Homo-oligomer: A and B are copies of this chain.
Amino acid sequence: MNSDPGRDPTKQYHDASVRVRYAETDQMGVVYHANYLIWFEIGRVELMRALGFEYKLMETEDDCYIVVVEASCRYHCSARYDEVIRIRTRIAQAANRMIKYSYELLRDSDGRLLATGSTTHVICGKDGKPKQLPQKYREKFRSLLLEPATRNESA
């Protein structure tokens, strides 16, 4: 976790990495675009792990499912087979019932920006009904927020 809120808020991100699988390529010879959303998911799960908790346990112990309500991605440069991709994840917003992540995908070998994107999520129980994110998680998410001003925001 590269986080040092007091000095450089732009450093408040977490880097995870994946190596491109053959199964993720398509006949254009590059990674099929839908796979980037799967990588985003890895980015936010690993960010949560770096914050000290496992998403898996949010589901099983706290009945909190982080459901995607919006996803978007801009593709700048193709990812290719066997490349190592750095997934840089930030928390863009963290309200009581909503979390927004932003992502940058970078080619690890040279730092080239491949894609940027974001996903917005609401918290639901297993029954699909929206609920508040438990306080213990909210605090952790907000510790990574880029803009302190949004910390008091509620959704």
Contact = CB atoms under 8 A, between A and B. Distances in A.
Q: Is the interface of A mostly helix, strand, loop or mixed?
A: mixed
Given A21-B42, A34-B38, 20 more contacts: A22-B26, A22-B41, A23-B34, A23-B41, A25-B26, A27-B28, A27-B81, A28-B65, A28-B67, A33-B37, A34-B34, A37-B37, A45-B82, A54-B82, A55-B82, A56-B81, A56-B82, A68-B75, A69-B75, A72-B73
Contact of A22 (B21, B27, B71, B72): B27
B26 A23 contact: yes
Interface residues of A, number: 35
Interface string A36-72: 0110011001000000001110000000010111111
A71 to B, nearest CB: 5
